[in-house]
A and B are shown apart, each in its own frame.
Chain A
Amino acid sequence: MVSPEIPAIEIIKLVSHYGERKILHEIDMTVAQGEIMVIMGGSGSGKSTLLRHLLGLNRPTSGSVKLLGQDITRITAQEMFALRRQMGVSFQGGALFNSMSVAENVALPLREHTELDENTIQIMARMKLEVVNLNGFEDLMPSELSGGMLKRAALARAIALDPRLLFFDEPSAGLDPVASVELDELILNLQEAMGMSIVVVTHELESAFKIADRITVLDQGHILLTGTVEEVRGSDHPRIVSLLQRQPRREEIDGDAYLQRLTRELA
């Protein structure tokens, strides 16, 4: 068991490149245990890249990512495998395995990480599907589910091993307002029932304000602000204000740079 003083997630000076382009500029972020942290930002802000680093899917240029006190940029494959047991992820499109039924999807983490017998695995998979209100759908294939059901099935798979850390990529993307609110409720209920730390990456303001304990606003690879919902709402940072009021970005135009962009590599 991890002692309660250790933060669930600690990112220190994380720098990431995509080819030559710098995506994340020395990001520092901490998520306390039991906290719901929302990472907010427009497209191209680097929030998806940041999530991939948190999940150990990308290798950073420099800096470290500590999950439950373990630096995932340095631990061995064996230690990472053990840590994966403490993590659940719900991807944007669900990312359910299309060749397996819903129940098989939920059962896969149990099969890979436990030595439970087949009946126990089936029962546990059904229990997780009950939690997300998908009882009776276990034999359907992912292609037979609606968008909202897909997300809930993905959530059931993410919590299959009762993780300490839960990650969501754009939970409300592609959902109608009602299904989106229902999913937000589900996230809040889960946090209350199981006490895990949750990181949600989203660009939906409403859902962010509803579920967040704290919000980190990311813009072009920099953290603009980390704070409570009130702090973000009350911020007078021009980029945050324009994000909240859905105004288009207005950048100062530098005449010389503009001309140079248009005429580069000619002559």
Chain B
Amino acid sequence: MRAPLAAVEWVGRQTAKFGNEVGYASALLFESLYWLLLGHWRNQPVRVSAVFKEAVEVGVRAIPIVCIACFATGTMLAMQGIHTLKQFGADSQVVVGIAYSVSREFAPLITGIFVAGRSGSAVAARIGTMTVSQEIDALRVIGVNPVRYLVAPLLVALMLTMPCLTVLANLVAMLGGALYCLAALGMPLEVFFDRSFAALTTSDVLGGIYKSIAFAMLIAIIGAVNGFQVKSGAEGVGRATTRSVVLCIVSIILADMLFTGFLSR
């Protein structure tokens, strides 16, 4: 009798906890947007210098790793595509396949996952450490709202740099594909890019960019939620960091699925 009841209780508790956390995350998102819009008139301005500092940290510094990952992804798509299409004798059609899958799916997704890995963890660790060392309390007693000071600049920085990174990722991934096609099929680079740009429409690329903006919001908010929830010591910070990265990546993949479902209807 006890075991099933305990299971029901567990499910109930977990659901309530999940609901709580989603509520907290939305509150955090709305508060950040509130300070962005009205902070200037409420003694809590979101400073441009803070946004740029974050943008360098989360965006510019992510360029090398995103380039490497996307170049490899483009090359891999070309390999698989040529291998598959060869069976139908249509291997030169691989160009269109790469162009579509990169711009609609892989560029935003790979960018999202790598930025989540870098920044989702860093944000949770930074805010978590600040909570433990009472720096958050110190901000509040100075009269600085921690959400305005720590979360809002990060949110803007990610929402500005993620689309840029995604555009870059598009180009690098296609370059990877193009180079492999040059090596395997002897297809000149300009032919590859001409055909790609002929096939792609604005909405393909825009779809990927909208996704990346949503991913940016997920990373900023999930990282901050986990950081603020740290209660105790170094162990708590470590747990929050891990949890933040895992949740960021899972939610990015789920959001991507939903987005693709809606966009490709």
Measured CB to CB, the residues of A under 8 A from B are: 52, 55-57, 77-78, 80-81, 84-85, 87, 89, 91-93, 95-98, 108-109, 112-113, 157
Contacts and interface: CB of A to CB of B under 8 A. Distances in A.
A55 B141 contact: yes
Given A91-B137, A95-B138, A97-B135, A108 B42 contact: no
B143 A108 contact: no
A93 B134 contact: yes
A78 B42 contact: yes
A113 B141 contact: no
B80 interface: no
Contact of B134 (A81, A85, A91, A157): A91
Nearest to A88: B141
Given A97-B135, A98-B133, A57 B142 contact: no
Contacts of A52: 137
Nearest to B45: A112
B14 interface: no
Given A57-B137, A84-B142, A98-B129, 9 more contacts: A55-B140, A77-B42, A80-B143, A84-B143, A85-B143, A89-B141, A91-B138, A97-B135, A109-B143
| Majority-rule SS of A interface residues | mixed
B135 A112 contact: no
A56 B145 CA distance: 13
Contacts of A84: 141-143
Chain A CB within 10 Å — which of B129, B139, B142 has the most?
B142
A78 B43 contact: yes
Given A77-B42, A78-B43, A81-B43, A109 B142 contact: yes
A95 to B, nearest CB: 4
Contacts of B130: 97-98
A89 B135 contact: no
A233 to B, nearest CB: 32
What is the size category of the interface that chain B forms with chain A? 10 to 19
Contacts of B217: none
Chain A CB within 10 Å — which of B42, B135, B141 has the most?
B141
Contact of B140 (A57, A93, A96, A109): A57
Contacts of A57: 137, 140-141
Contacts of B135: 95-98
Contacts of A87: 141
Contacts of B141: 55-57, 84, 87, 89
Given A77-B42, A78-B42, A97 B143 contact: no
A77 B38 CA distance: 14
Contacts of B42: 77-78
A128 B150 CA distance: 26
A108 B133 contact: no
B144 A95 contact: no
Contacts of A77: 42
A113 B143 CA distance: 8
Given A78-B42, A78-B43, A89 B143 contact: no
A95 B134 contact: yes
A146 B72 CA distance: 48
Contacts of B129: 98
A89 B43 CA distance: 20
A157 B142 CA distance: 9
